[in-house]
């Protein structure tokens, strides 16, 4: 789909901060607020803007620590049951945070979030591995998140190191 | 015995006016939680690929001097860049010097062309260093005042009015610091005819060339017949977000460059080697990131111009750089009073317009090299400040009655 410059500019702003007000977008792009609303609605309807997730670092909150695992899944698609059907069986589980079809040595990349390692291990052995057509799973526990969706976690580059006033 | 240092100091040096910005900086620096629209440098950090190349250069042990004019490889890239972006052709071997910031390019230019008493026209409001640089080179800065009525654009008539037999050069800066004013091709061409008629040189400070928003940037050297008369000054500070690297460059006709290289080899030798390596990467592989920053500034400019006008601080829409220059005359205060009050009352730092010359009185410089969120907060605070000024005025009127 081809987008107009205005639409691309709106996406650029939302990509940086989805909390920005329509009024601010309108002023930044010299548009009316109504026009901004209409275009955002359109982009949402076309699923170009899919959602506005908030990136939360749960591990900073006592009692809310989470463990993340990325699991490589190999499957053998059967006649009449393509990757999409198998993928659906997997992504229906609320524990699954993301699911991608991959090229290379395995087929599906599954991200799972849980409170403990046992919880994740149980999910893999009881639910994932038992799905028909799933041939093998390899579980990688995530040890530390440095960057997520383009955002550096705990980066220190946001700090303004400039003098307050300069020529 | 106490020493009277005044008698030892150079009269020229003592005579230099202290920078109006410095005074304001000293005040703002003592305060916490200031939101600053007073910063004359990008809020972006230098793109990573550029930093990485400089780090690699250090790792490799690139710690020796380079040629006086800079690494030939870098001059080659500068030559390509000037041709590709602005259609001006300079030979890397003998027409380009890599300097320690555009600041030093300006200094070299004036040292190379000024004889004692030569006059250089400076279009005000202007970058704070210009007059001092001319003075230190033994010249006499002649100020040409522009006004908000035509968006601070200098006209050929204004220039012609002050030209004397001592006039040697005009210093042009487009896009301008502090007004953001950009001169288009036609306006530059009109100035060029005066330059030619009076047989002058032009020192063209094009440091904000990358940050032009509404129309394409035109280099003064690209105006017909002006190539031979132009000393082109540019650098990495603003467009590439590399202020702290202190890297700029000069491009000019060979005979001028020869003299400047001679001065440079005695004063500086060369710009830092490992940083020059980073600059090569800046010119080779950063155009996308530069464009992204430009888009960002463009959006902020639109936002801040509308906000200021809504608050009642009238300003024109500047074509480039990252400054707006709104009028504060409505407040009834001087630029300095306004800026001090704003800093003290609302902790927003801006620069009083008179720091850039007498014609800047009645204005303030707001830099939008700050995030939209910061600008938004600053605008709310300025609005509140304006309301409080109006209230005090009303109260005073009541008492007078
Ligand atoms: C108009 C103008 N020229 C030159 C400079 C100096 O740039 P550099 O950092 O390259 O010395 C500045 C910096 O503020 C500027 O605004």
Task: Say if A93 falls within a structural domain.
Answer: yes
pLDDT of the residue at B19: 83
**Closest Cα to residue B227, out of B88, B82, B83, B81?**
B88
- Counting from 1 in the atom list of ligand 1, the atom nearest the Cα of B105 is 11
Do A19 and A69 lie in a common domain? no
Average pLDDT for B174-189 = 98
To the nearest whole angstrom, how far is the Cα of A30 from the nearest Cα of chain B? 6
* A104 & A30 share domain: no
Residue A154 lies in a domain: no
The domain total for chain A is 2
What is the C-alpha separation between B306 and B331, in angstroms, rounded? 19
Convert the pLDDT of each residue in B5-53 to its tens digit: 999 999 999 999 888 888 888 888 889 899 999 999 999 999 999 999 9
Above pLDDT 70, what percent of chain B?
Answer: 100
- Ligand 1 pocket check: which of B107, B129, B207 to mutate, most ligand atoms within 8 Å of Cβ? B207
**Residues A73 and A10 reside in one and the same domain:** no
How many other CB atoms sit within 10 Å of the CB of residue B372? 21
Rounded CA gap, B352 and B336, in Å? 5
Tell me the pTM: 0.93
d(CA A148, CA A160): 22
Q: Give the residue-averaged pLDDT of B233-252.
A: 98
Based on the domain organization, do A70 and A26 belong to the same domain?
A: no
pLDDT at B397: 81
Same domain? For A81 and A102 the reply is: yes
pLDDT at residue B399 in the model: 83
- pLDDT, mean of residues B162-172: 98
Let me know if residue A22 belongs to a domain.
yes
What pLDDT, on the 0 to 100 scale, is given for residue B394? 84
pLDDT digit string, tens, across residues B371-383: 999 999 999 999 9
The pLDDT of residue B395: 85
CA of A52 relative to ligand 1 center, distance in Å: 40
Residue A159: pLDDT over 90: no
Query: What residues of chain B lie within 8 A of the CB of A24, using their CB?
Result: 303, 372, 376
8 Å CB contact between B238 and B290: no
When pLDDT is averaged across residues A83-87 and rounded to a whole number, the result is: 92
Q: Give the ligand 1 atom nearest the CA of A167.
A: 14
Residue A125 DSSP code: I
Count CA atoms within 13 Å of residue B129 on its CB side.
16
* Domain range enclosing A134: 58-144
CB distance B319 to ligand 1 below 6 Å: no
Residues A31, A101 share a domain: no
Partners of B299 on chain A (C-beta within 8 Å) are: 9, 13, 28-29
Q: How far apart are CA B339 and CA B217, in angstroms?
A: 32
A165 domain residue, yes or no? no
Nearest CA in chain A to B19: A167
Instruction: Give me the CATH number covering residue A28.
Output: 1.10.10
Residues B9-17: contacts with CB under 8 Å, at least 24 apart: B12/B135, B12/B136, B13/B136, B15/B135, B16/B132, B16/B135, B16/B136, B17/B131, B17/B132
Helix (H, G, I), strand (E, B) or coil at A86: helix
The distance from CA B271 to its chain's CA centroid, rounded to whole angstroms, is 20
Q: How far apart are CA B334 and CA B389, in angstroms?
A: 13
Lowest mean pLDDT among A73-87, B95-109, B325-339: A73-87
CB distance B207 to ligand 1 below 6 Å: yes
Distance B129 CA to ligand 1 centre (A): 9
Residue A157 is predicted with a pLDDT of: 77
> How far does the centroid of ligand 1 lie from the alpha carbon of residue B7, in Å?
33
Mapped onto helix, strand or coil, the DSSP state of residue A147 is strand
Same-domain check for residues A63 and A121 = yes
| Mean pLDDT, rounded, of chain B | 96
Asked whether residue A34 falls in the same domain as residue A84, the answer is no
Segment B282-296 shows an average pLDDT of 97
Instruction: Mark whether A33 and A97 lie in a shared domain.
Output: no
Domain match, A131 and A96 both: yes
Q: Tell me the C-alpha distance between B54 and B274, whole Å.
A: 5
Over the stretch B259-278, which tens digit does the pLDDT of each residue have? Answer: 999 999 999 999 999 999 99
Question: Which tens digits make up the pLDDT trace of A35-67?
Answer: 999 999 999 999 999 999 888 888 889 988 999
Q: Point out the residue among B43, B127, B299 whose CB comes nearest to the CB of A167.
A: B127
**In Å, how far is A8's CA from the nearest CA of chain B?**
11
**Residues A41 and A66 both lie in one domain:** no
Best probe residue, ligand 1, of B100, B102, B132, B209 (max atoms within 8 Å of C-beta)? B102
Distance from CA of A69 to the nearest CA of B (A): 30
Question: Which CATH number goes with the domain that contains A88?
Answer: 3.30.70.920
A51 located within any domain: no
Mean of pLDDT values over A100-128: 95
B243 lines ligand 1 (CB under 6 A): yes
Whether residues A63 and A124 share a domain: the answer is yes
Residue B339 has pLDDT above 90, yes or no: yes
Peptide bond preceding B316: is omega within 30 degrees of 0, i.e. cis? no
Q: Is the CB of B296 under 6 A from ligand 1?
A: no
User: What is the per-residue pLDDT for A151?
Assistant: 85
DSSP-derived letter for residue A119 is H
Closest CA to B19 of B157, B128, B122, B173: B128
Q: Which domains does chain B have, with CATH numbers?
A: 8-45+288-387 (3.90.1150.10), 48-285 (3.40.640.10)
Does some domain include residue A30?
A: yes
Q: In what order do the strands lie in the sheet with B119-124?
A: B96-99, B248-251, B230-235, B201-205, B167-173, B119-124, B140-145
CA atoms within 13 A on the CB side of B330: 15
Residue A38 counted as domain residue: yes
Q: Is residue A150 part of a domain?
A: no
Mean pLDDT across the stretch A150-166? 85
- Residue of A15, A19, A31, A164 to mutate for B, most B C-beta atoms under 10 A: A164
Which range, of A68-82, A89-103, B336-350, averages the lowest pLDDT? A68-82
Element (H, E) at A108: strand A108-114
pLDDT, residue A150, reads 85
Q: 3-class DSSP state for residue A92? A: coil
Instruction: Give the mutation target among B43, B97, B99, B103 for probing the ligand 1 site: most ligand atoms within 8 A of CB.
Output: B103
3-state secondary structure chain B: CCCCHHHCCCHHHHHCCCCHHHHHHHHHCCCCCCEECECCCCCCCCCHHHHHHHHHHHHCCCCCCCCCCCCHHHHHHHHHHHHHHHCCCCCCCCCEEEECHHHHHHHHHHHHHCCCCCEEEEEECCCCHHHHHHHHCCCEEEEEECCHHHCCCCCHHHHHHHCCCCEEEEEEECCCCCCCCCCCHHHHHHHHHHHHHCCCEEEEECCCCCCECCCCCCCHHHCCCCHHHEEEEEECCCCCCCHHHCCEEEECCHHHHHHHHHHHHHHCCCCCHHHHHHHHHHHHHCHHHHHHHHHHHHHHHHHHHHHHHHHCCCCCCCCECCEECCECHHHCCCHHHHHHHHHHHHCEECEEHHHHCHHHCCEEEEECCCCHHHHHHHHHHHHHHHHHHHHHHHHHHHHHC
**Nearest CA owner, ligand 1 atom 16:** B177
């Amino acid at each position: 789909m081809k987008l107009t410059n205005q639409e691309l500019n709106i996406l650029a702003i939302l990509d940086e901060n989805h909390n920005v007000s329509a009024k601010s977008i309108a002023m930044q792009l010299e548009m009316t607020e109504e026009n901004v609303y209409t275009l955002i609605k359109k982009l949402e309807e076309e699923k170009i803007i899919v959602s506005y997730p908030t990136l939360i670092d749960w591990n900073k909150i006592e009692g809310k620590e989470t463990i993340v695992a990325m699991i490589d899944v190999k499957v053998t698609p059967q006649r009449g049951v393509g990757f999409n059907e198998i993928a659906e069986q997997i992504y229906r589980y609320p524990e699954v945070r993301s699911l991608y079809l991959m090229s290379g040595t395995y087929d599906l990349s599954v991200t799972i979030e849980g409170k403990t390692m046992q919880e994740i291990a149980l999910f893999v052995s009881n639910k994932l591995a038992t799905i028909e057509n799933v041939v093998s799973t390899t579980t990688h526990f995530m040890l530390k998140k440095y960057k997520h969706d383009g955002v550096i976690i705990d980066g220190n580059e946001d700090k303004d190191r400039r003098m307050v006033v300069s020529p | 015995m106490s020493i009277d240092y005044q008698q030892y100091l150079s009269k020229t040096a003592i005579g230099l006016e202290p920078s109006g910005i410095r005074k304001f900086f000293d005040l703002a620096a003592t305060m916490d939680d200031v939101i600053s629209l007073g910063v004359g440098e990008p809020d972006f950090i230098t793109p990573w690929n550029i930093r990485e190349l400089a780090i690699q250069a250090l790792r490799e042990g690139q710690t020796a001097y380079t040629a006086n004019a800079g690494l030939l490889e870098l001059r080659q890239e500068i030559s390509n860049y000037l041709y590709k972006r602005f259609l001006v052709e300079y030979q890397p071997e003998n027409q380009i010097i890599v300097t320690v910031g555009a600041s030093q390019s300006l200094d070299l230019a004036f040292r190379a062309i000024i004889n004692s008493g030569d006059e250089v026209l400076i279009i005000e409001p202007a970058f704070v260093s210009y007059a001092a640089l001319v003075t230190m080179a033994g010249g006499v800065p002649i100020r040409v005042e522009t006004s908000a009525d035509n968006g601070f654009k200098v006209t050929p008539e204004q220039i012609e009015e002050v030209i004397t037999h001592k006039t040697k050069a005009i210093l042009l800066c487009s896009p301008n610091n502090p007004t953001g004013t950009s001169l288009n091709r036609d306006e530059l061409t009109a100035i060029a005819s005066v330059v030619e008629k009076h047989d002058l040189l032009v020192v063209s400070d094009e440091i904000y060339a990358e940050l032009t928003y509404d129309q394409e940037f035109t280099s003064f050297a690209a105006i017909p017949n002006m190539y031979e008369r132009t000393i082109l000054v540019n650098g990495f500070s603003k467009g590439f977000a590399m202020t702290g690297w202190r890297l700029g460059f000069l491009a000019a006709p060979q005979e001028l460059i020869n003299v400047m290289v001679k001065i440079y080899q005695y004063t500086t030798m060369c710009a830092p080697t490992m940083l020059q390596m980073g600059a090569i990467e800046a010119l080779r592989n950063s155009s996308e990131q530069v464009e992204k920053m430009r888009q960002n500034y463009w959006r902020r400019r639109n936002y801040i111009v509308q906000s200021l006008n809504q608050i009642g601080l009238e300003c024109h829409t500047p074509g480039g750089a990252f400054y707006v220059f709104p009028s504060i005359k409505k407040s009834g205060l001087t630029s300095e009073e306004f800026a001090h009050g704003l800093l003290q009352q609302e902790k927003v730092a801006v620069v009083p317009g008179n720091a850039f010359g007498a014609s800047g009185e009645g204005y303030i410089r707001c830099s939008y090299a700050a995030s939209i969120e910061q600008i938004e907060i600053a605008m709310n605070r300025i609005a509140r400040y304006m309301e409080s000024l109006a209230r005090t005025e009303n109260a005073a009127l009541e008492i007078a009655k």
